[in-house]
Structure 1
């Protein structure tokens, strides 16, 4: 008689963590009785939870040291705020330290998350960048395994994180995508994506489709023992798999083989992906058009102001500008995302980070890493003015989250390889676009200007998701700086290396450019010889005295409980 399966999806976060670890080895870190709950929810009328929706299970997998990080989708949709984000990032950072010391510690993350918790918006953005940084570093020592078991899945910035994993396991009930269906409908209209169409959603971002098009590695049944065994198999295989976010050539070939003017079906995408993997020469290559200068942007103005046209490096798409130049004695590669009204992908024509943009950023950064291997490492300067990632059906189907992962991965890899990575925010730095292009930098500089914004989502979409009016949302931002859009509020969180005043952000003159070049060079020099992780953001005065106090305390107590 066949035994009934033991559903993994139906378990809560704690039960899932226990199920992955060897029997009897589970020990919870920073559990409910340690008193770490979000300090930012109660004043917004939300009851906090004593573990903030993240369970950290220390134990063993096949007798080897392990840490299982399990997200609870029933609390705030598994959203990432300051405490939950610090628990995840802190645990991965400690696992990295173990592996660097020769103690093989296996990291497993069980996804059940809608992404950034909007009530703590910019805390979530910073945390997800720190989580991603730890994953990219950890992959050099040991596989980093993710499991996406249920329909809450992995969305928002956490889908970008998922794209960085060594190996991803998903069930048929699992989903992964950058933009939730409601957000796409809000931003692009119901004609682009009908959020009420369940079959459309699963055919676009469900487990079966993601496996068929390279977005995950293993599709498994919703069964505790099956999932547990698959995790073990990954570790038994060792470091023999190339992370998908580093497979730039493969996914660029896929994009070139797609006609985005058509409404691509899931089956068509699967067929094209199979042919690309097999290297079929009969594939049609779709070529885009050169951009005109009809639509300028701050990002384009500053790219042109800081670089010489003769030093521009050919980019695969006109919306990604790349140039090499000098900042006195420092070599630097400048990269900016700019509007392209002729983009092949219509949802990415106004400076958004879309499918082509993400993979092209990755190519531009990785080319610099390859060229400088064994020699002096040039600086990489990300000029940031990105209104958001692209919202669209084709984007989700093909995997815009993975394109953003590729860009973030490349910047993090450059930073770890010794390239000073410097971000200059001159306009908008919004959502997954900022996670892809800017948040993996050693140092972040920003212009002090009322039109320089940092956030996770447009106000209209944020209001819809949190079930508030835009007016109510703006009131809440005054109580919680992490929810605010202005650069002064972001500075309070401690992540900015410098906020630069007195610069004409819209029309920089010669003197403005001299000042900014001096600031960039100083940031590069400050970076050389310093640590290559993102820890400086937690050591800044603003972070220690106000902005990240809880993040620091979480990490401190977690380290005390680790061994």
Structure 2
């Protein structure tokens, strides 16, 4: 197509959208800001790390465009590429706060986390989520999903957070790619070779009919530019991440054991009449719940024995002025893909409801209730129905609720006694401004299971494990995670399954220390790259990008 937008690469897309003569690239190829994580793995880096940042104008209005290059590492987000987006959007936020209106636009052509940088990717994407939520208080944040790769993984969560999402009929959107679902749940759950099934489920025509995309345009540069201009002028915002009541009502009506296809889901979606949902605090009972590290520590920290809730997998309770929230396993859950503590559809939307209720209750209080997340999430749910309905919406609702709470002044601390993996960690953990973990090698922190990561990166598991020796961000253990600078405290001498009185007292003391550190502290996520470990080694590239962006941003 002569004026095709899909066929352009990232830099060409940004240039094509901007008014002639107004475009200026920031941290461009000549700055040679490459990822330091790739060459040690024998991967040739790109001089722009696969993300193009351009300032300019569209129809005379100031914009900043972040365009992701799907042809480089599948559009995966790593430390440098993520920092470019975050730092540019933070500059845009500062301008908007100062009364200098500038509209952020992000072009999504991405598989999510760059698995060769794994935990850096998760951190970066959570930081993108944070800045998008902050920006939406001032201006709409517009997203484009042209095609080729589409928008997957943690960046599909980003798409759900954006004010307005525009795509073509050549795009797909989903949290878990079909290959990953097939690897994790089996070919009967989602056959990755069935292209018709994939497009019918994840393609934008279905996504438009079920509220995941706002507008489909022709594959034409002018069509995209007109749609963007209209969205900016009208300040369009679908509030996609604030529809927990709608989806919880829908899920109340869903039979997970019954077949559900695209036509059936469209009918179900159209018929929903939302009902208000509020989850009461967990109560003590005589019957133990399914054992998990998350449940163990929630019960010990709150003093609630055999905690039960109307939503069996979400526990929350207030203790000593703190709100504790945990996502836990339930071996009898009616949704089979969340029986081991995974974050599924119900879990994300329910957590969002709990956090939003707390924020509303504290709205006029000078001192906000601290939120303590107890994190033991082995992943998000891998299932066909989850993708059809849009599990990324559920995770976005939870992440957004935590981000808004933190930005409103609630201290948010994540305590990690169990696993913290992938989208589950993005939804429940990474929007905290203090991360605490037990120094236990039984804890896994990563973006994807080894089997799925090996399949996606076309490596053997042995090759994957060898790479982790050279790149701490790819490792699965808590000791290597500490090297990234993301942790506020790694608690030594406490095992995740040994929550005795002394261990509980130790953890409570560290949580209090973290809360004390948040008095008069920023409500953003900056601690992760300003603490001594991050500055010295863990986030050196991030801080270099931030400095360069600050220097190059002014017109």
Q: Which band: TM-score by shorter chain?
A: over 0.9
Query: What CA distance in whole angstroms lies between the structure 2 residues aligned with 1:547 and 1:22?
Result: 39
What corresponds to 2:314 in structure 1? Answer: 320
Which residue of structure 2 lines up, in the alignment, with residue 302 of structure 1? 297
1:63-96: CA deviations, max 9, x gaps?
A: 2221001011011100111111111111111111
What's the offset of the Cα at 1:295? Answer: 2.8
Whether the aligned pair in 1 keeps the contact of 2:208 and 2:216 (CA below 8 Å) is yes
Q: Which residue of 2 aligns with 1:553?
A: 544
Residues 120-159 of structure 1: pairs in structure 2 closer than 5 A: 120-159=117-156
Residues 1:353 and 2:347 aligned together = no
Match in the other structure for 2:456: 465
Partner of 2:488: 497
TM-fit CA distance, 1:292: 6.8
Distance 1:184 1:310, change over 3 A: closer
Whether the 8 Å contact between 1:316 and 1:360 is mirrored in structure 2 is no
Is 1:275 matched with 2:266? no
Normalised by the size of structure 2, how large is the TM-score? 0.96
1:160 and 1:178 in contact (8 A); partners too: yes
SS at match of 1:163: helix
**1:394 is matched with which residue?**
385
Counterpart CA distance in 2 for 1:441 and 1:320 is 18
Q: Is the 8 A contact 2:286 2:306 kept in 1?
A: no
Report the 3-state secondary structure (helix = DSSP H, G, I; strand = E; otherwise coil) of the residue aligned with 1:336.
Answer: strand
Rounded Cα–Cα distance in structure 2 between residues aligned with 1:418 and 1:335? 18
Q: How many Å separate the matches in 2 of 1:560 and 1:350?
A: 47
Mapping for residues 391-540 of structure 1, pairs under 5 Å: 391-540=382-531
Using the TM superposition, name which of 124-133 and 460-469 deviates more: 460-469
Aligned residue for 2:249? 253
Q: 1:19 aligns with which of 16, 21, 35?
A: 16
SS of the equivalent of 2:148 reads: coil
Whole-angstrom distance in 1 between the partners of 2:286 and 2:69: 45
Indicate if the aligned counterparts of 1:60 and 1:66 stay in contact, CA closer than 8 A: yes
Q: What is the alpha-carbon distance in structure 2 between the residues aligned to residue 241 and residue 250 of structure 1?
A: 17
* 1:138-170 alpha-carbon deviations (Å, 9 max, x no partner): 000000000001031110111111111111111
CA RMSD in angstroms, aligned pairs only: 1.8
**Contact between 1:494 and 1:540, CA under 8 Å: does it hold in 2?**
yes
Is residue 61–residue 106 contact of structure 1 (8 Å, CA) maintained in 2? Answer: no
CA contact (8 A) 1:164 1:244 kept: yes
Distance 1:225 1:319 in 2: 47
Task: State the Cα distance separating 1:5 from its structure 2 match.
Answer: 5.8
Corresponding residue number in structure 1 for 2:358:
368
1:435-464 alpha-carbon deviations (Å, 9 max, x no partner): 000000010000000111210000111111
The DSSP-based 3-state class of the residue aligned with 2:436 is strand
Quote the residue 1:286 is aligned against: none
Q: Shift of residue 23 of structure 1?
A: 2.0
**Deviation sequence 1:480-502 (CA, Å, 0-9, x none):** 00000111111111110000011
Conserved in 1, the CA contact under 8 Å of 2:299 and 2:305?
no
Equivalent pair of 1:42/1:48 in contact (CA under 8 Å)? yes
Question: Is 1:338–2:328 an aligned residue pair?
Answer: yes
TM superposition outliers: structure 1 runs of 4+ over 6 Å: none
Unaligned runs of 5+ in 2: 276-284
Report the 3-state secondary structure (helix = DSSP H, G, I; strand = E; otherwise coil) of the residue aligned with 2:139: coil
Instruction: Name the counterpart of 1:31.
Output: 28
Distance 2:107 2:70 in 1: 10
SS in structure 1 at match of 2:88:
helix
CA–CA distance in 2 between the matches of 1:394 and 1:267?
13
Aligned partner of residue 272 in structure 2, secondary structure = helix
Return the alpha-carbon distance in structure 2 between the equivalents of residues 74 and 5 of structure 1: 20
Q: Structure 2 vs 1, CA of residues 295 and 473 (structure 1 numbering), >3 Å: closer, same or farther? A: same
8 Å Cα contact 1:311/1:323 also seen in 2: no
Task: Tell me what 1:196 maps to.
Answer: 193
Alignment partners' CA distance in 2, 1:449 and 1:487: 7
Q: How much has 1:176 moved relative to structure 2?
A: 0.8
Contact 1:20 1:68 in 2 (8 A): no
Check the 8 A contact 1:315/1:364 in 2, yes or no: no
